[in-house]
Chains A and B, each alone.
Chain A
Amino acid sequence: MPDFDQMIVSEEWENTDVSLLETLDHVLSRGLVIAGEITISVADIDLIFVGLNVLVSSVETAHEVLRKRETE
C-alpha cells in the first residue's frame, strides 16, 4: 500500500501550505461526480423538476472545462 509518510516527495513540496493546497485541489477539482435531481416547489406544490449537476470546483478547473467546450 502507498506510503503516506512520503506523500510529498521533492524538497520543494515539503511545505505544509503547499501540501494543503494540493490536497484541496484534489478534493475540489477532481473525483467522481454524481448527478442529482431537485424539484422546485412552492407551497408544497411541485412546480419544476430540474436535473441538477452539482459542482464544487476550483476556478482553474472551471476555466479548463470552459476552454475545452469552446474548442469542441
Chain B
Amino acid sequence: MKLYCYCLCADLDTFDNSVSGVSGAPVRVLRIEEISVLVSDCETVAATRENMLAHAAVVRSAFTRTTPLPFRFGTLATEQQLRSFITTNKRALANKLAYLRGCVEMDLKTTWQSSNSSPPKPNPASGPGTAFLMEKRRELLGDEQAAAHRAELSDLFRAELGSLIKEEKIGLQPPEKTVPIKVFHLVESARIQEYRDKVQELREKRPELQLEVSGPWPPYSFANIELEFGSQFGVS
C-alpha cells in the first residue's frame, strides 16, 4: 500500500476527521523523525479536479492550526520511501519548517511592463540566416530584459512593502504580454492586514501596475528544500 502525501508539519498530532482526502480516503497523521506527515492510504490517484481540491482542503485544514510544508499534488510514496526521504533530509526539512513557522504566502499579479521591455523585432526582409541570428538575439535580449524587469519589480515591492516581506519569489516573465507576472511573498501571519493595506496604498499610488492580490495561502511557493528543487528535474 502506498501513501498519498499532503503536507509535513512540525507539531500536529491529530487531524480533523471531517476533512476527507483524495478519492474520499481518510487522512491520518504519520510521525517520522519528529515530523508529522498527513497521508492517506492510496495506491493511485487520478488527476481530477475533485482530488486536487481535496488535496488543497487537507493542506488548508492543517494550515488553520500550524504552518504546513505542502507537497505538490500527486505525491505518492511507499512508507519506506517517505521515511527515507524524511530521514535523509531531516535537517533541511526541520530548518524549512522552522523558517516558515507563523508565515503565510501572499500572491500578487501584475501585467505592468516597463517602458523598455520589448525586444527588437526581426526585419522580415532579411535572409534565413540573418533572420535566425536576429531571432536568437531577440531571445537573448528578451531574457535580459525580463530579468531586468523582474529586478525592477522586486525593487519596487521592496521599497513599498519592505519589512513585511520575509522572502520573495518572482515568476519568469511570460512571452505573452497579457499574461500576468506572478509574485509570491512570504509574510508573517500576524502582519497580513498590514500587507493588504500596503498593497492597497500601492494600487492607489501606481494604478498602472494593475495589482491583484490573493491569500493567505499555505506556503506552497516556499516549500521546496534546495536539494529537492535542484533534483526534481534531474538537474544536480
Report whether B65 and A1 are in contact in the complex, using a CB–CB cutoff of 8 Å. yes
Q: Is B104 an interface residue (CB 8 A)?
A: yes
Q: How far is the CB of A31 from chain B (nearest CB, A)?
A: 4
Q: Is B153 an interface residue (CB 8 A)?
A: no
Asked if A34 meets B213 with Cβ closer than 8 Å, knowing A2-B192, A4-B64, A53-B231, the reply is no
Report whether B72 and A53 are in contact in the complex, using a CB–CB cutoff of 8 Å. no
Number of interface residues of A (CB under 8 A): 40
Cα of A1 to Cα of B197 in the assembled complex, Å: 18
Cα of A4 to Cα of B218 in the assembled complex, Å: 11
Residues of B within 8 A of A32 (CB): 7-8, 69-72, 75, 223-225, 228
Q: Is B53 an interface residue (CB 8 A)?
A: yes
Q: How far is the CB of A42 from chain B (nearest CB, A)?
A: 21
Q: Is B129 an interface residue (CB 8 A)?
A: no
Asked if A33 meets B232 with Cβ closer than 8 Å, knowing A24-B52, A27-B55, the reply is yes
Q: Is A41 an interface residue (CB 8 A)?
A: no
Report whether B73 and A28 are in contact in the complex, using a CB–CB cutoff of 8 Å. yes
Contact with A along B209-235 (1 / 0, CB 8 A): 001111111101101110011011111
Report whether B223 and A31 are in contact in the complex, using a CB–CB cutoff of 8 Å. yes
Number of interface residues of B (CB under 8 A): 56
Task: Look across to chain A and name the residue whose beta carbon is closest to the beta carbon of B5.
Answer: A34
Report whether B223 and A30 are in contact in the complex, using a CB–CB cutoff of 8 Å. yes
Residues of A within 8 A of B81 (CB): 34, 36-37
Q: Is B121 an interface residue (CB 8 A)?
A: no
Q: Is B171 an interface residue (CB 8 A)?
A: yes
Q: Is A45 an interface residue (CB 8 A)?
A: no
Q: How far is the CB of A71 from chain B (nearest CB, A)?
A: 6
Cα of A31 to Cα of B223 in the assembled complex, Å: 5
Report whether A30 and B220 are in contact in the complex, using a CB–CB cutoff of 8 Å. yes
Residues of B within 8 A of A28 (CB): 52, 72-73
**A1: contacting residue among B64, B174, B214, B223, CB under 8 A:** B64
Kindly name the residue among A3, A26, A65, A67 whose own CB sees the greatest number of chain B CB atoms within 10 A.
A26
Chain B residues within 8 Å of A, Cβ to Cβ = 5, 7-8, 47, 49, 52-53, 55-56, 59-60, 63-65, 69-77, 81-82, 85, 104, 107, 143, 171-172, 174, 189, 192, 196, 199, 211-218, 220-221, 223-225, 228-229, 231-235
Given A4-B64, A53-B231, A64-B172: 9 more A-B contacts, CB < 8 Å:
A24-B53, A27-B73, A31-B72, A31-B224, A33-B224, A34-B5, A56-B73, A60-B174, A71-B143
